[in-house]
Every structure is written in structure tokens, then in C-alpha cells.
Amino acid sequence: MKTKQNNYLAIFLSLGVVVLFILFHFLHKKTTVASNISPLYKQISKTESCTLCHSYTSGFSKHHDPKNIGCVACHLGNPAKKNKKEAHLNLISIPGNLSNASQTCGKCHQGIPQRIMHSPMNTMSGVVSIDKYVFGENNDLDSLFQIHHIDNKSLGEKHLRNKCASCHLGNEKTKTNPISERSRGGGCLACHLNYTEGAKKGHFEYQQNLKLPQTHASINLQITDKHCFGCHSRSGRISTNYQGWHETQLKADSITDFKHYRILEDKRVFVKKQADIHQQLGMSCIDCHDTWDVMGTGQYYNHQEDAVSTTCTACHSKDLQSVAYQDLDPSDKRMLKKRNIDTTKHYLKADNKMYYNVLIEANKATLITKNTHKSIALKDDYSNCLRNNAHQSVSCSSCHTAWAPQCISCHTNYDKEIGSYDLLSKKEVDGAWLEKGAHYLASFPTLGVVTKQGKRTIKTVAPGMIMTLEKKQSKSFHRLFAPVSAHTISKETPRCKACHLNPLVLGYGRGELTINSKKKWLFKPLFDKHQDELPQDAWIPFLKNDTVNKATRKNLRPFSKKEQQKILTVGACLTCHKEKSSVTKLMLSNYPKALEKRSKQCIVPLY
């Protein structure tokens, strides 16, 4: 009888422990997702055993201070145990990696880890799709892929894992260290991790002798351009372009002029060029690209440009829509308060979203930079571009891009005799892909036509690859141009001749474009022809329709023969008439009428 009573007692006690555990878990979870930290959560944080060793640690941002949310909210572990080994059981030393974000950051910031998982910054879908297309392993340029799901069987997959796969947010951060020019991945930490000088010093000392650092790295909204640099100084070089630096093939040990040249941490050498006007005004990347651009909307996107919803005309427009503070989304209200931006104003609404750092007053817009709170008056430049019907389909970047980086000669081959590093498995493997490039150029980009939802838009393009691919016993040549957002926007626009008389813009490549006495256009290329009979830097043949798809997008094409003729006919007029003359102004508003009024001396090309 006594044994039976003991059994009942044991069961009762066990159930009591379970109930208490569930209650604790429920209260813990409930308070971490609340917008305001409850006193109960603060009380729970005080009972954590973490403070036995980490009681003097400082440096936290307000919203991540252990006094408010405890340590286990981010790092998990076992806060009820005082023994180090037991307390660190299931501890996550680097929270924020996408492998643990739903358990850590996602408990408070619900839904965001799922959005990021679908973002192109994590999937790299476009990169994988195009790479496998070139390797003959994918027939659809708009296929959806996940970079961390690719295998290691085909040559294309080996190439991605060897050369490309480090630049995605899912790339695991395995060591505690500050963001640098060589940083890759890290999930939430890729953007939100900041080390003060004290934190850097403490981290260095900890690495040297395992002394516990007294200053913790901060997790906050201070997202600088340095956070973007690690990945975006590669490929399209957007980060370096924006700051006004163009990559060269010079060796780091040959540089003595550090005013005009810059050596990156990876020893690449860049030469000074014109910086983007937004960068010159003191704007950071996040002043234009918001959470929906960067962290995604929760949808999968084929290519990077599909995920970017920010537009030039959102700010540079005559008719500005605004929303009062009380009508803002709760998340936008929180961001305003966290960034200490005026909550009594009206805010810009454009592109079906809010720009909470753009204040509207008397139909005038003022941008407040998110990191430095600098006020920048925004001008209605867009209405000037629409003063005629000639350029309705021309994108802003087509005129305002100062320059774009262009590489026109690459050779890629596989060497099975040497080892390399697999960027996904993070292991040394047999065989390596070797890449050699030549002619790193910086000039005005080529223009092409993008058709989306039936709308035709002229946009900037550049060589995505002009490359010889050598794999095993075969060689193949590839010429593919890609849409480019160079991030080298200039306030000034080029003269009309810069487009209408520029063979590079038209797609022919660099060279001399002239019209002879027989009213025939002639083109003498600067570079020799490749095996496809086109000049090395060209996209299309001179004054011909392109019969072979040479673009990385299905909706991107070069100018047709008819479009080339139209552009060059205007160019012929510009060989004599000045750009601000009455004739040129008439061409902008009514080109057929301008042709009717031409004199016998006017040159109208024959095609």
C-alpha cells in the first residue's frame, strides 16, 4: 500500500514539474515577442545563472540589453544551472545565423527569418540559374534555385561551390569577429552586428588568452555601407562603384599613390573614379534600400532586380503622396521611434510602400539619413525628364549612370590536379576552377530593352560574361550581357551625342562611328573580333538584327535594326545641329515635322 502511495506521489511531482516547465516556457516565449518587455520577463532575466560569470559585460543596445531580455533570449542554453558545462548545454554562441534565426532572433522578430530565407540575398537563385545555363545544365534562365541546396556532382555545381557560394546570407558565421571587407553571410549578423573599439579590444584579448570580454558586440540598426561591402564589392562591384572606386589588375605591392588608388583587405587594387551623387551627399545604402528590398517580402524571386522595389521616381517626383504618423503601419512607427525621426510629420508613400525617412511638407520632400540624421532636400528632377515624348521609355539610370565596370575577356578552366576550397562544405577538396580576366574597363554602359508586363523600358546593361569556358576535353565561347545597376548616378547627364553617336551604347563595342559622303554609316571597332565574328566588347553586329540570344534575362534584348537606325538618324542630325538649337528642340517634340523642314544640306542616312 505504501509503495502504491509513493508511486502516486512520484507521478504527482513529475506532473507538477512538467506544468511548471510549460508555464515558464509559455511566459518566456510570450514576453520575448511582446513589443514592450514586461516586468515578468525582467524578473526571469535576473534569475539566469549567466550573470555569475558575465555580470560585468556591457556594450549592449537598448533593445538587446540582458537587463531587459536576459541572455537566453538570444543564446539559449540552460539558465537554471550554475555549472558551466551544464549551463552551456544547447548554447548558441553565434545567434542570428539563418540555421538558428527562427529559434533566436525570430522569437521577437517574428516572420523575418522566413522572409530572409526566400530573399535572393540568401537563395542566389539568379546566380545559380545563369551559371548552370552557361554550363549547359539548365535551359531556363528564370529557374528558381537555392544556393545551399546545390549538389557537388556537375561541373557547374563545382564551379558555384568553388567560386560563388560564399556571398549569401545563409553562409554560416562560425567565429565571433567584427564585420570587415571580407565578411560573408552570418544571417541577421551580416547587417546588424557592430563592434565598438572596446568590444574589438575585448574580443582580441579573448582570442589571445581566453579572458572573458567585458564589452559585448552590439546588435542594432546602425547598418553601415561596410556591412554591405563584403559581398557587394564582388561581381557587379556595387559597393566600390558607389564609393567611386574601379577595380584594376595592378598588384598591391606596386602601389605608392594612395590618394588615387585603394588596396582592399583581399589585396585587390582599385583606382579612383567618380562616386555616386547619393554617396557624395552622405547617404548610405539603407537610405534607399529598406527592409523589403534587403530582407525580402517572403516571395521567391528569379533575379535580384525583381526583388528591389525602390525606384528613383519615388523621391524625385512632382506629385508626392504622403501619410500621417497615425496612419502608419505599427512596424514603421516603431522604426521612427527607434531612429529618433520626427513623429509629427507626414511621410512619403510610393511604390506601394512607406519611406518613413522621407518627410513631406508642402509637397516638398526631405530625406533624413538613417544613420547620421542628415537632412537632404529632394528635388523634382523627374518632371524635367518628361518635358517631351522622345524619352518616355528611357529609365533614369540610362542617362544618369556615369560609368559601369566592364570585363570583356575571361578564361575559365578546371584543373583537377590542384586543390581548392568548397565554400558550402567549408572543406578542402580536389580540383579547382581557375579564372583569368583581362581588360577591366570603366565607361558609360551599353543600353538594352527590357520588356515587363507589356511595357518596354530602355535600361543599362554590361557584359555579364564574355568568356571562354574550358571543361575537360571541350571549349565553348559565351557572350552574355546582363542588366546592370552600376550605382554611379551622376547629377549631370551626358550630351545627346554620348548616346546617339556612341557605338558602345548601341551595342557595337568601342570604336569609330562615321558617316561617309554616300550617307552610309561606317564602324571601325577598337578591339579585334572573337570567334563569333563580333568585336571583343560588342553585344550585337553593326546595323543588323541580333539572331542569337546573348542576354542573361529572357525579357532583355539589344536594339533591333530599326531601333538602331532611328537612333543613328538622330545622331546624324547632331553632327551639325547643336544640342540646344531650335532644330534639336523640335526633334524632341515632333521629329517627323523636323524632318519635313530639313534643308538640302541635311544628312539623312541611307540604310
Q: Which helix (H) or strand (E) holds 14?
A: helix 2-33
- Whether residue 81 is contained in a domain is answered as yes
Q: Which of 91, 124, 151 corresponds to the end of one domain?
A: 91
- Give ∠ CA 324-325-330 in degrees, rounded to 5: 130
Digit-coded pLDDT (tens) for 378-392 = 987 766 676 667 788
What SS3 state is found at 441? strand
Of 50, 66, 91, which closes a domain?
91
The answer to whether position 579 is within a domain reads yes
Cα–Cα distance list, 581 to 566, 574, 600 (Å): 20, 10, 18
* Residue 467 falls inside a structural domain: yes
Residue 35 pLDDT exceeds 60: no
Question: What mean pLDDT comes out for the span 349-360?
Answer: 92
The confidence score (pLDDT) of residue 603 equals 83
Q: What is the pLDDT of residues 78-90, one digit of tens each?
A: 999 999 999 999 9
Cα angle for residues 343, 346, 347 (degrees, 5° grid) = 95
Last residue of a domain, one of 43, 76, 91: 91
14 in a structural domain? no
Q: What is the pTM of this model?
A: 0.89
- Asked whether the beta carbons of 327 and 286 are under 8 A apart, the reply is no
Question: Does residue 258 lie in a domain region?
Answer: no
Question: Strand, helix or coil at 509?
Answer: coil
Is residue 356 in a domain?
no
Give the pLDDT band (50/70/90) at residue 44. low
Number of domains in the chain: 2
Domain residue limits at 26: 22-91
Give tens-digit pLDDT for 422-480. 999 999 999 999 999 889 999 999 999 999 999 999 999 999 999 999 987 789 999 99
Mean pLDDT of 540-549: 94
Strands, E assignment, 503-563: 511-515, 521-525, 556-557
Average pLDDT over residues 215-242: 96
Q: Is residue 96 part of a domain?
A: no
Mean pLDDT, all residues of the chain: 89
- Cα torsion 10, 12, 18, 23: sign: negative
Residue 297, in any domain of the structure: no
* Model pLDDT, residue 383: 63
Residue 18 pLDDT > 90, yes or no? no
Helix, strand, coil percentages in the chain from 3-state DSSP, rounded to 5: 35, 20, 45
Q: Is 406 helix (H, G, I), strand (E, B) or coil?
A: strand
